Amino acid sequence: MMPKVLCHWYVTTRCNSRCQTCSIWSDDRYKCEESSIESRLDLLKQLKAMGFLSIDFTGGEPLLYPGLPSLILAARKMGIMTFLTTNSLLYPKYARALQGNVSALSFSLDSPHPKINDKIRGIPHFKKAIRAMKLATTLGEVPMIKTTVCRENVNDLKVFAELARRIGVLIEFNAEFAYFGNPAFDNAGIQKILKIKNHPNVIISKPHLQFMLDGGNNPCRPKCHIGHNMIVLAPDNQLYYPCMHLVQDKIPLRNGSIKETLEQMKKDRLVEKIGNFPFCNRCTIPCYMESSYYTGIDKYFVPCFGGRLDYVKKRVRLSLINRLEK
């Protein structure tokens, strides 16, 4: 049986950024009711019982959901790995409540240059993000900058990496994928990301970059594992189908049960269609592909675990440096 690797949990689709590269804050398709913390704690117990190893709490801006710190704390007590990426604006408010409970805490940043970053974000953001990351390090966290590399910032990778080094954080470079009307990142840009992978503060996903170079998802041999070893939960406790980015529908939980709903989806042959739709052709959305690299014995499997080892080494090294500098 395939291990349940990851749940992408969209706790809200609201956002307090106004990014040029994202329309979730302005597109009515993403408006969604938000369920109570009580109902979500029940879903959390279900995920634990089903054997899910990790949860990516996402959005929108996930910290706009006030129950999130309690949900993350409960997940950690159950032994589930927790991932959180925030734009940093609300982090100071919840920093103490989150302290020590997030397995991987990340902050979004689009440029190492304040004016360019704030223009892309559509709000005053850069200084607040830097302050939030410094606060996180003082609380003993080992945070990471998450950056989507695109044509506008691909020549700033070294500057970005040195910014991360000065702050005392890691930085993950993700290549832009085709979604909001933009073309997928070109191969030359991907090669530039690969060249900086040895910087002590830089994290990349070598298997996913290779997957992009290979042309992305092939509907004849789909790499997307939604419904198999990962799921995508909506803020109203429904399942996005086939995924959040290319959502065609949402599926209500049968009798409030994730397991029962997935079993019925498999009986109705809905799961086997995921990755086979025409719009799935050449898809390179990483949040739906990454978990598959851990479970299939192919060209991406070994680099996937090599990358995870590299992340652990760099994280431990940075944690030691930050402690010595306190």
DSSP states of 214-236 as a string? TTS-BTTB----BTTTEEEE-TT
- Alpha carbons within 13 angstroms on the beta-carbon side of residue 6 total 22
The per-type count for the chain, helices as H runs and strands as E runs, is 11, 10
How is residue 103 annotated by DSSP?
S
What is the rounded CA–CA span in Å between residue 208 and residue 176?
Answer: 12
How is residue 182 annotated by DSSP?
P
pLDDT in tens, the chain (326 residues): 667 889 999 999 998 777 766 767 667 788 888 999 999 999 999 999 999 999 999 988 999 999 999 999 999 999 999 999 999 999 999 999 999 999 999 999 999 999 999 988 888 999 999 999 999 999 999 999 999 998 889 999 999 999 999 999 999 999 988 775 667 789 999 999 999 999 999 999 999 999 999 999 999 999 998 998 999 999 999 999 999 887 778 999 999 999 999 999 999 999 999 999 998 999 999 989 998 888 878 899 998 889 999 999 999 999 999 888 86
**What is the CATH class of 6-325?**
alpha beta
Check: CB of residue 316 under 8 Å from CB of residue 324: no
What is the rounded CA–CA span in Å between residue 292 and residue 207?
Answer: 10
- CA angle, corner 225, sides to 307 and 185, nearest 5? 60
Tell me the domain boundaries of the chain. 6-325
Q: Which of 38, 37, 29 is nearest to 60 (CA)?
A: 29
What is the rounded CA–CA span in Å between residue 144 and residue 136?
Answer: 10
DSSP string, 178-213: S-SSPPPPPHHHHHHHHHTTTSTTEE--HHHHHHHH
Q: Is 106 helix (H, G, I), strand (E, B) or coil?
A: strand
What is the rounded CA–CA span in Å between residue 199 and residue 294?
Answer: 24
Check: CB of residue 193 under 8 Å from CB of residue 149: yes
Helices (H), ranges, 2-83: 37-50, 68-77
Locus of tokens 């704390």: 73
Q: Which of 169, 171, 173, 167 is nearest to 189 (CA)?
A: 173
Q: What is the CA radius of gyration of the chain?
A: 19
What is the rounded CA–CA span in Å between residue 182 and residue 121?
Answer: 17
Structural tokens at position 120: 């892309």
Structural tokens at position 236: 């109203």
pLDDT at 164: 97
Calculate the alpha carbon distances from 169 to 106, 122, 124, 154, 323 in Å.
9, 24, 21, 20, 12
Q: Which of 312, 293, 296, 311 is nearest to 207 (CA)?
A: 293
What is the rounded CA–CA span in Å between residue 218 and residue 277?
Answer: 10
What is the rounded CA–CA span in Å between residue 326 and residue 322?
Answer: 6
pLDDT at 297: 82
Q: How distant is the alpha carbon of residue 147 from its chain centre? A: 11
Structural tokens at position 4: 């349940």
